[in-house]
Amino acid sequence: MKEESLTDALFLSEKRRQILLFLLQGPKTIEEIKKHLDAKSSPIMVQMRILARNHLITEKSDVFMLTELGKSIVPEMISILDMFLVFDSCSDYWTDVDLEAFPTHLLNRIGELGQVHLYVPDRAHIFDCSRQVSEDLKDAESIIEISSVFRKTYIKDYLTIAEKGSNVSFILSKEVLDRIENEYPEVYYRYMRLDNVRFFIAPDMNLASCLITDKFVSLSLFTKDGLFYNHDLVSRSKSAINWGVDLFYHYRGLSTIHQLQE
């Protein structure tokens, strides 16, 4: 019988993955492993031998632990599995959109989005954000918006939240900011008079929109053909929010601050 490769050992058995993840917490006895997996010794030992042959685990005085190789590889395995989870959850969506919206280091961490949900407004509200996002926005204590598309929420919903004292930061394309200033001057000046609101102008970006609050992250991406349809890809996990904040810092580093001209 052909022996398993390292890749096979990592990804072709859920039981082996569970063992590795458990040992990532620290050395364990076989009894602890059996109890954790709710399994008998014989099938567990078969998987343990495969992991040992691939130098991922070792045993000393009846205690099993990750090798140095295992300690290095298992966290990377988790990252890859998290990425698979994100892409599998909305596979048709990810196939169609332009992932160049994200810098490489954040695309490599996209598994941090965790469980995502795709919301598309009904036809009567096709130019609005989804009902789910509108509801979640009401409780937001902070808002970050990175966008190269204009949305009506910038004119009403975000302003209402900002005037209640929540921090609001915009990173917008020049075209979007110009539209707010020229077509909605009253809204623009109300924003600019608030100390808790910041505007940044971004250079050309492939990202349509990313909304980050203290409660959730919502992404809207262009298709690979450069087209846009209104939608929200939402995650409410803490790791997703941290990922979104890092995306904000990336784009802020490329942007210039916009201030009210006296």
How confident is the model at residue 195, as a pLDDT? 95
- CA gap 85, 116 in Å, rounded: 9
Domain annotation for the chain: domains and CATH numbers: 6-77 (1.10.10.10), 90-258 (3.30.870.10)
The lowest-confidence range among 116-130, 201-215, 226-240 is 116-130
pLDDT of residue 1 exceeding 60, the answer is no
Cα–Cα distance, 259 to 241 (Å, whole number): 27
Q: With 0.75 as the threshold, say if the pTM is over it.
A: yes
Please indicate whether residue 125 or residue 8 has the higher confidence score (pLDDT): 8
pLDDT tens digits, 95-132: 999 999 999 999 999 999 999 999 987 777 777 778 88
Give the angle 137-210-150 at the CA atoms, nearest 5°: 85
Confidence of residue 261 (pLDDT cuts 50, 70, 90): low
189-193 contacts: CB < 8 A, separation 24 or more?
189/260, 190/159, 190/163, 191/159, 191/162, 192/259, 192/260, 193/260
Mean pLDDT of the chain: 91
DSSP string, 163-217: HTT-EEEEEEEHHHHHHHHHH-HHHHHHHHT-TTEEEEEE-S-SEEEEEEESS-E
Residues 255 and 205: beta-carbon distance below 8 Å: no
- pLDDT higher than threshold 60 for residue 2: no
Share of the chain above pLDDT 90, in %: 71
Report d(CA 176, CA 200) in Å as an integer.
11
